[in-house]
Structures are given as C-alpha cells and as structure tokens.
Chain A
Amino acid sequence: MGPSTGGRTRLSGMQKQVLSLYRGFLRATRSKSPEDRREIESFVSAEFRRNSKQVDRKNFIYIEYLLRRGKKQLEQLNSPDTVGLSSMNVTFSETENPKN
C-alpha cells in the first residue's frame, strides 16, 4: 500500500474530525430557509478555509480547541430556535483576526 495506490488521499484522525464537523455544519444548513442556508454556508466555508490556512497543522492543542468550539456551535445551529447566524455572531466574531 504505497502512496501510488490509486492516488488515495490519506487523512489523519484529526483531519477526519475536521471534515466530519464541516459535513455536520453543511448538513445542519439543509433545514434552514434558502437565504439562511446560503448565508450560513458561505460563512462556515470561509471560517473553515481561513483556519485551514492560518492554523499551523501541528498545533494540535489549538485545533482540538477549535473542534470543541465548533461542535458546540453546531449544536446551537441544530437547535430549532436558531434561524440564522445572527444569534451566533458573538461566538464567531471572537475568532476574526485574532492578531489585529
């Protein structure tokens, strides 16, 4: 099973957790209205992409923290009371540009 085996992408356990969380978010948006869905999807996608570029992939402690926080946010999003992002902005906004 060398790297040439059909060109399969190998994922680490942590990568799988991140992708599973991303999948969870995208699945959660399906139950929202089309506008909310688009808005949440583009926000969530931007958030994951930003972190995938900014966070050092060896920084396991921080990634674990982001995973835990993401799971909580996903629970919030899955609750029927959450229509869109507005009620969640507080928890998300703390992550915007932590350095500046």
Chain B
Amino acid sequence: MALRAAVLRHVRVAVQTRGLESNPWFPSGSIRLMSSHDDHLTKEEVADRVLSVIKSFPKVDPSRVTPEVHFQKDLGLDSLDNVEIVMALEEEFKLEIPDKEADKIDSCNLAIEYIHNHPLSS
C-alpha cells in the first residue's frame, strides 16, 4: 500500500515536472538533462544547496547553519518558519513535498536525506 502511494505520488509529480518544460525559465534541454536518473544529484550537491537556502532565510544567522542543525531547536525558528523553509526547498529542487512528509522535515539532515532520496529532485 505504501509503495503504491509512493508510486502514485511520483507519477503525479512527474506530470508537473514535464509542465515546466514549457516554462521560459526552464529551457527544455536543461530540464531533461537534470531530471534524468543517470546524473541524479549527489549528496554533496544537495547538502550545499539545502544549506544555502537555509542560510538565506531572513531570520537565520548564516554562521550557525551546519548540516546537523535543527530548525526550531538550534536556529530559534517556529513551526511557521519551518513550513516556509520546506516550501523554499521545494522551489529550489522543483519538488512538491506532501504535507505528511513536509511535517517531518525539521532539520538540515532530514531535508538533505529526503531530497537526496527523491528521484525527481533537480
């Protein structure tokens, strides 16, 4: 059942990703290259980009951001900030993270893990 749900979710996201090709911001050549599984993002690349999204969040002191950091405990953010960060990560990696997963992402480590394991992040 869980597998089926996961597959269905990916199918839904895949359709949206394809929609991006007609978007002038994402020329079709590059989006196909980047969403291909052969050159899936490396964990280091994901980690770098996750950290830079979090560092650029207005309420965050960039010097305190490490891969181990917990959003609310270590950065003094609240649950609404947490939502904003996860939404910013969605946009950065062209994903749509379902509520159930998004509620669990409360630290850099979990964010990196989730995005790295997501087949459609680009």
Are A19's CB and B106's CB within 8 A?
no
**Contact status of A7 and B83, CB under 8 A, knowing A16-B99, A20-B99:** no
If A8-B106, A9-B106 touch, does A19 touch B87 (CB 8 Å cutoff)?
no
Cβ contacts A20-39/B at 8 Å (1 or 0 each): 10110011001000000000
Q: Are A9 and B80 in contact (CB under 8 A)?
A: no
Residues 83-103 of B contacting A (Cβ, < 8 Å)? 83-84, 87, 91, 99, 102-103
**A interface bracket (residues with beta carbon within 8 Å of B):** 10 to 19
- List A contacts of B103 (CB < 8 A): 11, 16, 19
Chain B: number of interface residues, binned into ranges? 10 to 19
Pairwise interchain contact B87-A23, C-beta atoms closer than 8 A: yes
Indicate if B70 sits at the interface (CB-CB under 8 A).
yes
Hey, which chain A residues are within 8 Å of B87, CB to CB? Answer: 23, 26-27
- Among A22, A26, A27, max chain B CB count under 10 A is at A26
A residues near B (Cβ < 8 Å) are: 7-9, 11, 15-16, 19-20, 22-23, 26-27, 30, 45, 48-49, 52
21 inter-chain pairs at a CB distance below 8 angstroms, sorted by A residue, are A7-B70, A7-B73, A8-B104, A8-B106, A9-B72, A9-B82, A9-B106, A11-B79, A15-B79, A19-B79, A19-B82, A19-B99, A22-B80, A22-B83, A23-B83, A26-B84, A27-B87, A45-B84, A48-B80, A49-B80, A52-B80
